[in-house]
Amino acid sequence: MTQAAISVWGADRVGVWISPSGAKGSMSDSNPRATFGYAAIQLNHLGVAYLHVIEPRINGIEEIAHGRAPVAAEHLRPKFSRTLIAAGGLTPASGRGHRRLR
């Protein structure tokens, strides 16, 4: 599906949204670190413009995993070299810390 979108619009105009936490869109996996890490590597190879990651620390507006490390920063940033958008459970202070993801 991603390759089909790239063939129509070009990789620089395609982004992908993922939720490694399994809390959104019925995404879940027995080994999310391996699965979504692999997905990030493959999307990087395809050259998509951005990867949008919903962090596992939030469900709706409720924080569900206090003190849990951000997936985007800890696991996916080393695997994806383009724009990485991290959303979910961020405060102004922790959001400023995410600037290091660039």
Q: Quick: pLDDT tens for 41-84.
A: 999 999 999 999 887 666 666 666 666 666 676 789 899 999 99
Distance in angstroms (rounded) separating the CA atoms of residues 77 and 90: 17
CA distance 28 to 102: 27
Least confident of 15-19, 23-27, 36-40, 49-53: 23-27
Provide the pLDDT for residue 86: 83
At 54, which CATH number?
3.50.50
- Domain of residue 63: give its range: 2-101
pTM (two decimals): 0.76
Total number of domains constituting the chain: 1
Pull the structure tokens for residue 87.
């959303």
Rounded (10°) angle between helices 32-46 and 2-9: 20
